[in-house]
Structure 1
Amino acid sequence: MTVRLHLVFGGELKHPQSGDFVDPSALDVVGIYPNYAKAHDAWKAASHRTVDNAKMRYFIAHLHRLLDADDESSEEADKA
């Protein structure tokens, strides 16, 4: 079975509709989870803790997609 890692992180945005963080060095890294369901639970809990701050936002990043992209890049480089 393939593990599909997910990273949950968040921080204060410059503007609620942007993806630009006020201070990227102060991001809150909630954790890395082995499946989407656990990551979603962590994302939901973190989001609920900061519900009063409209500029605070949490995200789920699909780390397994980044790892798969690296593998594909390596395979392409090997073919060249």
Structure 2
Amino acid sequence: MSKLHLVFGGRVSDPQTTDFSHPDALDVVGIFPDYASAEAAWRAKAQATVDDATMKYVVVHLHRLLQPD
């Protein structure tokens, strides 16, 4: 099984959490076949919004959700 990763982000109510203020307006960057490519996409988006403390991008390990064991 491939180890899929999802990268998305948006505005958060508190920069120390992942409590997204407007879940309907999330920026879905994409689904990636491995962590390295997901991390590269995450890093590019995070760097582009580095001056906005309320914007946060995350990497989700989809493969762990699909097969939690």
What TM-score do you get using the length of structure 1 for normalisation? 0.82
What SS class does the counterpart of residue 52 from structure 2 fall into?
coil
Q: Which structure is richer in relative contact order (CA contacts within 8 A, separation 6 or more)? A: 2
What SS class does the counterpart of residue 57 from structure 1 fall into?
strand
1:47-69: CA deviation from partner (whole Å, max 9, x where unpaired): 01111100101000000000103
Structure 1 regions of 5+ residues with no counterpart?
73-80
AA partner of residue 67 (structure 1) = L
Q: Distance in 1 between matches of 2:12 and 2:54?
A: 5
Q: Distance in 1 between matches of 2:13 and 2:3?
A: 30
Count matched residues: 69
Question: How far apart are 1:9 and its partner, in Å?
Answer: 0.4
What TM-score do you get using the length of structure 2 for normalisation? 0.94
Question: How far apart are 1:19 and its partner, in Å?
Answer: 1.7
Q: Is the counterpart of residue 40 in structure 1 residue 39 in structure 2?
A: yes
What SS class does the counterpart of residue 21 from structure 1 fall into?
coil
Q: Is the counterpart of residue 13 in structure 1 residue 12 in structure 2?
A: yes
What SS class does the counterpart of residue 16 from structure 1 fall into?
coil
Larger radius of gyration: 1
Identity %: 55
Question: How far apart are 1:18 and its partner, in Å?
Answer: 2.0
Q: Runs in 1 of length 4+ with deviation above 4 angstroms?
A: none
